[in-house]
Structure 1
Amino acid sequence: MIDIKNLTKQANNKKILRGVDLQVKKGETVAILGPNGAGKSTLLKVLATLIKPTSGIVRINGLDLKKNHIEIKKILGYLPHSSLLYDHYSPLENLVFFGNVYGVRDVEQRAMKLVKDVGLSFFLNEPVKNFSRGMIQRIAIARAIVHDPEVLLLDEPHTGLDQGAISILNNVILSMKEKGSTTLMVTHDFKQAAEICDRIIIVKNGKIVDDFKIKNRNLELVSEKYEMQMEGVS
């Protein structure tokens, strides 16, 4: 589903990504861990077609990122640090708007279901500008999946969420997985990575320094692997 070969990104004479190689199969849920400044968000932005790579090859669902970025955008769902919501719109209005952009059928019914799925039915018609950070994050998640994307790119999706909202988000991600979606999730939350992901990659200084599968929600394995890499042990 995602095939990355020797991907580099340089900005202002600074190398942010240094020869990233990564293959992700359809339906995989992959967590991307690493310290601040490692290049995690930059990698997602390249995949989301928001910034151009300096060099390398990226294919998503067989489509070349440089030649087919418009087609690729149609199958992506992207959640950055900002919500991308219109704050004077209600959750329903936001989701209907973005659903129409993607040509979603029965868009109002789809929007209402998603608002219910993220636990905010009571606030269906309230302006988003009145919402807490966690409530905005829930609607932003719904926005990212309104069109049932084949690939889901999540940049620290658990930020600002309480425990109940974290459970809702995890259920949403797992339900997308059941539909066959492929998910890449940048996170600092090892527990959530262990809970919902099949695989972990660790990024350091713009390179992937570890890549391993995870079973049985083994949080201890994730922590140990991460600490080894941060200490420079291979």
Structure 2
Amino acid sequence: MIIDAKGLKKTFTSRGRKGARTVEAVRGVDLEVETGQVYGVLGPNGAGKTTTIRMLATLIRPDAGTAAIAGHDLLKEPAAIRRALGYVSQTGGVEEQNSPRRQVMFAARLYGVADAAAATDRVLKRFDLADIADRPGRTLSGGQKRRVSIALGLVHTPPLLFLDEPTTGLDPQNRANLWDRIRELREQGTSVLLSTHYLEEADALCDRLAIVDHGVVVAEGTPAELKREVSGDVVTLRLDEPERAAAVLGPLAREARVDDQVLRVYVDDGEHTLPKLLSELQEQRLALTSISLDRATLDDVFLAKTGRSLRDTGAEA
């Protein structure tokens, strides 16, 4: 196991005109990440994802809890942990004036890499940056900057890489390209801890994931396991009386839940249950605006665990 964290907590206090305000950013997070996994931390903005990663990266000290990272104690051996990991923040840290080559070379020397020039060449080629390696950072696209950021975190070939919201702001093509790079890292044996608020990203990339909300883990497992916990299929209905419809259809389903005037009915076999649902609605004179049948998604898991949709938090915008 490359990360074994127990009971991590972090509270921040800010002072303003109305006095001190205390925020419990992380309220007791446990994470177990196996070597060679892409492990996701999924949740809306403000859920505590970045604070958790910054604690594990030794950038801020936890108020409580313990962790072993790459075999080193979080509180007693922070320097050893820093040598064993690469960290890519949300902003990335690419300098506007310096070229990728200079920036990566500096990082290699900072980490004490024996042949910094050779390591720089290798990682630039690995991320298709050789042709733009000597351009100023300000001339690079968003996707190119993200690849430079990851190159900065990997130049010393650490066994563990932290990626904090790595695809935020990227267009779909660059996002898909970066997904491929992350899969390659896993195939080459690098363990990745990935924070994201994108449902599709977590589903596509993560071997396991923790869903975090308000500073606590509300669900943990593989994407498939988590979706099976909710139900096999989801029938989504829009109609004028969702609360009454939920009471009517509830006996035919595992669960019927109203969220923002949308009724979601969770069933084991949607294809065979759907005609029964429609018949019951017709009998009760409940008029439909629209209906859809889908497999359960991670958003359904989030909704089941927290009572609201992750998409409705604005995280997917």
Which TM-score applies when normalising by structure 2?
Answer: 0.68
Count the aligned residue pairs. Answer: 232
Q: CA deviation at 1:79?
A: 0.8
Give the counterpart of 2:223 among 214, 217, 223: 214
What SS does the corresponding residue of 1:210 show, helix, strand or coil? strand
Q: What is residue 37 of structure 1 aligned with on the other side?
A: 46
Give the counterpart of 1:225 among 301, 305, 309: 301
Distance 2:301 2:142 in 1: 32
Q: What is residue 10 of structure 2 aligned with on the other side?
A: 9
What SS does the corresponding residue of 2:297 show, helix, strand or coil? helix
Q: Is the 8 A contact 1:119 1:168 kept in 2?
A: no
Distance 2:12 2:29 in 1: 16
Q: One-letter code of the match for 2:306?
A: M
Q: What is residue 126 of structure 1 aligned with on the other side?
A: 135
Structure index of larger Rg: 2
Percent of residue pairs bearing the same amino acid type: 34
Q: Is the 8 A contact 1:138 1:165 kept in 2?
A: no
Runs of 4+ in structure 1 displaced over 3 angstroms? 218-221
Answering whether residue 219 of structure 2 is matched by residue 188 of structure 1, we say no
What SS does the corresponding residue of 2:170 show, helix, strand or coil? coil
Unpaired runs of at least 5, structure 2:
14-21, 228-294, 310-317
Answering whether residue 30 of structure 2 is matched by residue 18 of structure 1, we say no
Distance 1:22 1:190 in 2: 19
Q: CA deviation at 1:187?
A: 0.7
Distance 2:157 2:300 in 1: 35
Unpaired runs of at least 5, structure 1:
none
Distance 2:50 2:37 in 1: 19
Q: What is residue 37 of structure 2 aligned with on the other side?
A: 28
Alpha carbons of structure 1 residues 108 and 165: separation in structure 2 relative to 1, 3 Å: farther
Q: Is the 8 A contact 1:117 1:168 kept in 2?
A: no
Give the counterpart of 1:166 among 172, 175, 178: 175
Q: Is the 8 A contact 1:16 1:42 kept in 2?
A: yes
Distance 2:298 2:63 in 1: 31
Which TM-score applies when normalising by structure 1?
Answer: 0.90
Which deviates the most, 164-173 or 95-104?
164-173
Taking the TM superposition and a 5 Å limit, the aligned residue runs for 1:111-122 are: 111-122=120-131
- CA RMSD of superposed structures (Å): 2.2
Q: What is residue 146 of structure 1 aligned with on the other side?
A: 155
Q: CA deviation at 1:195?
A: 1.6
Q: One-letter code of the match for 1:99?
A: A
Answering whether residue 84 of structure 2 is matched by residue 75 of structure 1, we say yes
Q: What is residue 97 of structure 1 aligned with on the other side?
A: 106
Distance 1:136 1:159 in 2: 12
Distance 1:195 1:109 in 2: 33
Alpha carbons of structure 1 residues 197 and 231: separation in structure 2 relative to 1, 3 Å: same
Q: Is the 8 A contact 2:45 2:197 kept in 1?
A: no
Q: CA deviation at 1:145?
A: 1.4
